[in-house]
Structure 1
Amino acid sequence: MPRFFFHLRGVLEDLDQDGVDLPDMEAAYLEAHQSALDMAQEWLHQGRNPRGYAFEVVNDTGEVVFELPFAEALDRQAGRRPVNLPGTIRTAKEQGERMMRLTAELAQQVKDAQANLRRSCELLQHLGKNRAG
């Protein structure tokens, strides 16, 4: 029986380390849907907005098999038709966010390299003065 992992994505993120053995992807979807509804109900009672959260469901090889936004589960329960972004828009948004993170990391690495280069130049100048004197 395949194992599925239900990673919670949103403001808070929680990686499922244990997973659940389920017969197929449909059973995993139903599990994610019910869990999203249960968690959303609890959070709403606490005054928290669950709409910014989603389950990223991953199989035992680490492949994402589907994502279930809590908003979709809540809309479906309320009888509203879920709003689905076309896959290309969602992918572009995710890639844009990833690019922003990588750009920020690269900028920090450039700053660190420049600082190291300055320190190296200072050390070389100091060594040169000591040898000359």
Structure 2
Amino acid sequence: MKIAVIDTQGAGLGQTVVKKIRKEIGQDVNIIALGTNSFATSKMVRAGANVGISGERSIISFCKTNEIDSIIGPIDIICCNNIDGEITPLISKSIINMDCIKYVLPLQKYNIYIPGTNTMQIKDIIEEIINDIKNRAKLI
């Protein structure tokens, strides 16, 4: 199983996701850290990602040339230019065009409200994503 985790800036969210995947699923999963900057990438690799890819061009190239089972990232992956423009329209388009499941973490920062998520904590959302990945792995 191959899972990409994308994050920006300091990758706090990406680190948390990578650590949780490692803890819950273990070493059987190949985790690719997609960081919009090298700092974010290195933080996710230190958290347990197998490989790190940094920057717009590299992320777009990865998305166009690789097959993965899923990608996990903040809502910015479908709402580009929100975090200081680090998720560019080209990155967003590349992610959306991938033939995999996209797990979007609904951070309520950008006046985007996703019904049903207002009472959930981010750790609960991450747990739900991990459980869905585990269930899908049983089907493969």
Query: Normalization by structure 1: what TM-score?
Result: 0.26
Q: Which of 1 and 2 has greater Rg?
A: 1
Query: Normalization by structure 2: what TM-score?
Result: 0.25
